[in-house]
Amino acid sequence: MKSGNLLKAVVCGAVVWASSGMAWSETLLVANQKDANLSLIDTATNTVVGTIPVEGITGHELTVSPNGKTAYVPIYGDAGVGRAGTDGSEISVIDLAKKKVVGKVDFGHGVRPHCVIYDTHTGMLLVTTELDKSVSIVDPKTLKVVGSIPTGQEQSHMLVLSKDGKRGYTANVGPGTVSVLDIEGRKTLAVIPISGNTQRISISRDGSMVFTADQKKPQLAVIDTATNTVKSWVELPGKGYGTGTTPDGRWLLVTMRGSKGVAVVDLKALKVVRTIDVGDGPSEVLVTKDGKRAYVSCNFSNQIAVIDLGPDAVQWKVGKTIDGGKYADGMAMVR
């Protein structure tokens, strides 16, 4: 890719576009938890073309700077959310051209940093810091923590921002709640009860709905952002996990880890209209800007499924499965 083209980073529900001088045409970055590295996948051929090592135990998620030069990978630790294990205290800073770690953000104590978003409205990094019950604010220029936003809940695992950057929503796993955050005011506006346990979070393209998956029942909570209440539930064929919308705002893709599949929800009717078989343990969904493909990371089978969302007979089918690293998880797309 030539300098001056656009970059897109999608992570934890955030979308970032920027100029980039990356050497490749279009690359999918995938965080491999148990390999402590990032896979580089050429989306023209859907093949792995390289890896970037990440120091320590790699995080589960990542984001990319607006200029396309730097990736940020929170180092979560070696355990699942709410489980005993090491408590990560850093974010690894990766030079994508040099393909190596060049710096770090040090929180000074264990916080289990997890979901990171580059907030283009403020120029700051927002990262969930579970053990502090907060979203930390990091200056990417100085790599220093400059503030925090309390979530009022344990295990604030995933974060999504509204399009205007004014509101944030965290999925709080163990409490089974969603916190609504005033980003500028740095305060919690509401805590919405969902279930005994909830996972992942995303927002509709028009910002009117937030989605999170009930981990006790096979259903998806649909939150009305105008009232900060659950307005409806979508029944699923299996317990949901990660979600992602298509660019036209019509469809929501929901991964179902136990079912090894993806449910497609019609957002007008708020019901499942089809399911797609993918790899084992599907986790995160990344839909391309043109709406033609969706990439699904499959933790347990160490794969990334490529779903064809294009027209005609091949629509809504897996076109290819890419062998990734061990426990492939968080993704970001770079153009």
CATH of residue 139's domain is 2.130.10.10
CA 240 vs CA 244, 257, 265, 276, 319: distances in Å: 12, 7, 12, 13, 22
- Give the pLDDT confidence score for residue 93 in this predicted structure: 97
What pTM did the predictor assign?
0.92
What are the angstrom distances between the C-alpha of 191 and each of 172, 179, 291? 10, 4, 33
Residue type, 54: V
Confirm if 172 and 164 have CB atoms less than 8 A apart.
no
pLDDT tens per residue, the chain (335 residues)?
Answer: 333 333 444 446 444 333 334 344 688 999 999 999 999 999 999 999 999 999 767 789 999 998 889 999 999 999 889 899 999 999 999 999 999 999 999 999 999 999 999 999 999 999 999 999 999 999 999 999 999 999 999 999 999 999 999 999 999 999 999 999 999 999 999 999 999 999 999 999 999 999 999 999 999 999 999 999 999 999 999 999 999 999 999 999 999 999 999 999 999 999 999 999 999 999 999 999 999 999 999 999 999 999 999 766 568 999 999 999 999 999 998 87
Task: Quote the pLDDT of residue 12.
Answer: 61
pLDDT value, residue 85 = 92
The boundaries of the domain holding residue 39 are 5-334
- Angle CA 217–218–223, to nearest 5: 85
Between CA 173 and CA 200 the distance in angstroms is: 8
Residues 131 and 251: their CA atoms lie apart, in Å, by: 34
d(CA 235, CA 250): 17
Split into its structural domains, the chain has a count of 1
**Residue 315 β-bridge partners:** none
Predicted pLDDT at 1: 36
